[in-house]
Amino acid sequence: MESQLETDAEVDSSPTSPYDVTRDVHGIKTLFVNVFFIGEPGPGNPWVLVDAGLPGYTGQIKKKAEQLFGPNAKPDAIVLTHGHFDHTGSLKSLLKEWDVPVYAHRLELPYLTGKSSYPPPDPAIGGGVMSYTSFIFPIGPDNYGDRIKAVDEGGTIPELPGWRVIHTPGHAPGHISLFRDQDRTLIAGDAFVTTNQNEASAVATQRQEFHGPPAYFTCDWEAARQSVQKLAMLSPRAAGTGHGVSVKGLELELGLSRLVHAFDELSIPSEGRYVKQPAVTDENGIVDMPSPTSYHVARAIGLGLVAGLLLYTFWPGGNDDD
């Protein structure tokens, strides 16, 4: 007679949520950003975690891992598509329990080893609450020490046989995507996303739309355009992204094609700090950045939105229906 654990693993072995990509690539959403679990479900099977979501989601990540891979499931490694706060938020707490290597592109290392903060987000791009309030988002630097292992374009990760690293900069200098040639499965990170991450309403409803990377953190738009073109040329059959639901088949093909051909219209803000001039970075972090554009006006709007939300949340009787 099958044990309950074996039955649960069997149930979880096929895509069952909108964030699952294939039968061996499962995903969950941590508030507004996704993490992925690569591995054939089953007790004791090897697996790799891609990204670590927002702070406070350690328990949820571990719970999903145990549903897929059994009690006390520990990954063989963690891979970071990039080091922005929403993709590394639960990393420190996970590493307190999991002694595993963490892989990132060598151009992300300065932001993950304490050398440099990221280019700051740009609230002046407009477009909604997410962008206007982005000035409060943490930009580091964080320091994970010798846990971080460098990978390069076209490289492989020992714990991920069959997958290769695709350098897809623009949103972050060392942003990477993962691609499996055998079945053309793609984990795109934030190179492109399937919801309008700049708008809180789209984020809340997970309304499906193909977009370039979240605009408020993207510091090189020409590189971002080239990264989307690079991924489209791979002709992926299934893709998981850092924000929004997973996509497959003709829907993915048509969505990526439209994004490539209308990238400027769909993705690039009409104005903003990095629109005309990118941030310049290297292996040590920030080298040079353009001056902020209308930053104070955008910050004032963002502060007003934050203050309004706090007032609504904590004002006595503010949430009463009576």
The candidate with the shortest Cα–Cα distance to 90, out of 57, 59, 60, 113, is 57
What's the rounded Cα separation, in Å, for the pair 259 and 188? 14
At 134-145, the pLDDT tens digits run 889 999 999 999
SS3 134: helix
At 71-123, the pLDDT tens digits run 999 999 999 999 999 999 999 999 999 999 999 999 999 999 999 999 999 98
pLDDT value of residue 316: 47
Q: Cβ distance 171 to 100 under 8 Å?
A: no
Per-residue tokens: 67: 């549903």
Omega of the bond leading into 141 within 30 degrees of 0 (cis): yes
For the segment(s) 4-309, the CATH number from 3.40.630.30, 3.20.20.80, 3.90.700.10, 3.60.15.10 is 3.60.15.10
Segments of the chain scoring below 70 in pLDDT:
1-15, 126-127, 199-202, 294-322
Domain boundaries, the chain: 4-309
Residues 6+ positions from 99 with CB-CB distance below 8 Å: none
pLDDT value of residue 294: 57
pLDDT value of residue 15: 59
